[in-house]
A and B are shown apart, each in its own frame.
Chain A
Amino acid sequence: DAKTTQPPSMDCAEGRAANLPCNHSTISGNEYVYWYRQIHSQGPQYIIHGLKNNETNEMASLIITEDRKSSTLILPHATLRDTAVYYCIVRVAFGIGNEKLTFGTGTRLTIIP
Chain B
Amino acid sequence: DIQLTQSPSFLSASVGDRVEITCRASQDISSSLAWYQQKPGKAPKLLIYAASILQSGVPSRFSGSGSRTDFTLTISSLQPEDFATYYCQHLNSFPLTFGGGTKVEIK
Chain B binds chain A: no
